[in-house]
């Protein structure tokens, strides 16, 4: 399978899983366009991506900015949405509803609006990002699990509404990225997983590229979590 001569737009494609996906897509022959709200993150990403890549600064929570971004683009093959902010627990007993709503802004409503704005330009597929919190939440994960569950439902609904455009999602488990807290115990988590190690961004990138290439998959949510939903 190959992405040769295809154009991929990655929102959030400047660090972590998104950047790993951008790098792998270019290795498969794609031309990538990455976007992030952080100018320094865009600059760093373009420093490690091939010269054919391009990047832009865009506030993905601003519908007008996202609409203007896609208006400037020529038609492209795949939209990949990996944008997210640092993970934090929100316990019900001390819930700040404003923070809970804010958590949905980038991860869920940002993705929903991106698909809305981009659909007229997309030729082949959309790949969104969910998470295994929807299937195996812990204490304090009610908001995060809700976002992931909403994304799962969105993928299935969009796959029907936008057909024959394909819409899928990747559902990562614990992955070594800057979005996890500095004091997160990767060692203990690795020991609890059937695969015996923590995921790396490159592991997850393989799933995004697979879904871009897999022309018979739509409404699919691919879990890549080292078996964390089993234990």
Please write down the long-range contacts of 100-105, taking CB distance under 8 Å and 24 or more positions apart.
Answer: 100/143, 103/143, 103/144, 103/147, 104/143, 104/147, 104/150, 105/61
- Which of the following is catalytic: 37, 125, 130, 220? 130
Report the greatest alpha carbon distance in the chain: 52
Sheet holding 221-224, edge to edge: 54-57, 31-36, 7-11, 76-81, 122-129, 166-172, 221-224
Is 130 catalytic? The answer is yes
Three-class DSSP category at 224: strand
Q: How far apart are CA 199 and CA 189, in angstroms?
A: 10
CB 224 within 8 A of CB 204: yes
Q: Show which residues are catalytic.
A: 130
């Amino acid at each position: 399978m190959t992405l040769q001569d295809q154009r991929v737009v990655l929102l959030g494609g400047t660090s972590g899983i998104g950047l790993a996906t951008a790098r792998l897509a270019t290795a498969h022959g794609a031309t990538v366009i990455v976007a992030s709200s952080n100018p320094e993150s865009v600059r760093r990403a373009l420093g490690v991506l091939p010269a054919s890549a391009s990047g832009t600064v865009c506030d993905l929570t601003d519908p007008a900015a996202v609409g203007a971004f896609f208006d400037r683009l020529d038609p492209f093959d795949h939209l990949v949405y990996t944008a997210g902010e640092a993970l934090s627990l929100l316990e019900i007993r001390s819930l700040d509803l404003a923070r809970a709503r804010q958590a949905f802004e980038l991860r869920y409503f940002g993705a929903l609006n991106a698909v809305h704005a981009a659909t007229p330009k997309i030729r082949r597929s959309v790949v969104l990002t969910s998470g295994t919190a929807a299937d195996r939440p812990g204490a304090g994960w009610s908001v995060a699990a809700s976002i992931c569950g909403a994304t799962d439902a969105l993928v299935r609904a969009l796959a029907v509404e936008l057909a024959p455009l394909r819409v899928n999602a990747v559902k990562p488990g614990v992955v070594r990225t800057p979005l996890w807290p500095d004091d997160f115990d990767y060692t203990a988590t690795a020991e609890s997983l059937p695969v015996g190690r923590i995921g790396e961004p490159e592991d997850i990138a393989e799933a995004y590229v697979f879904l871009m290439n897999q022309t018979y998959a739509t409404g699919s949510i691919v879990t890549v979590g080292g078996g964390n939903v089993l234990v």
